[in-house]
Amino acid sequence: MGILSNIFHKIFPSSHPANKGAAAPAPQAQPQAAPQAAPQAAPQAAPQAAPAPAAIQQVDVEQILTQMQQSSGQQLNWRTSIVDLLKLLGLDSSLQARKELAAELHYSGDTSDSASMNIWLHRQVMNKLAANGGKVPADLRD
């Protein structure tokens, strides 16, 4: 499980589609195991599967993180700092962990320039949260 997946697990409910990424290989294995039964069930299953993505409920990321900060009693600036965001979520915020997150998100800059990398990481994490059903304030994403 990658660092981004850990972030998703801390913010999104376990039933949220963003957290289903780790479970994705299992459903792929099932259709291969029962190809004979699929042709009869497929026409009925396809219309039922279509409404599910439209039914994805957005998760208010700002509200969740604000509540986490209030209950933590810490003064963490999660809105601009990737380090504080990771600390708030109870995740490793070390330089090595951030470099791993940068690699996971395909950062092409110099990881020795931690200030630039951190700004980029924060923006990318907020973009990924928004792209996966998170309601993220516009000023925190691209």
pLDDT band (50, 70, 90) for residue 36 = very low
- Residue 111 domain-assigned (yes or no): yes
- Residue 40 domain-assigned (yes or no): no
Adjacent-strand bridge partners of 59: 134
- Residue 10 domain-assigned (yes or no): no
- Residue 90 domain-assigned (yes or no): yes
Cα 103 from Cα 77, distance rounded (Å): 24
- Residue 80 domain-assigned (yes or no): yes
Range of the domain at 89: 59-140
Mean pLDDT on 85-101: 97
- Residue 25 domain-assigned (yes or no): no
Domain count, the chain: 1
- The percent of residues above 70 in pLDDT, for the chain, comes to 74
- Residue 35 domain-assigned (yes or no): no
pLDDT higher for 82 or 39? 82
- Residue 39 domain-assigned (yes or no): no
> What was the pLDDT predicted at 21?
61
| pTM for this prediction | 0.74
> What was the pLDDT predicted at 56?
61
Q: How high is the mean pLDDT of the chain?
A: 81
* 65: pLDDT strictly greater than 90: yes
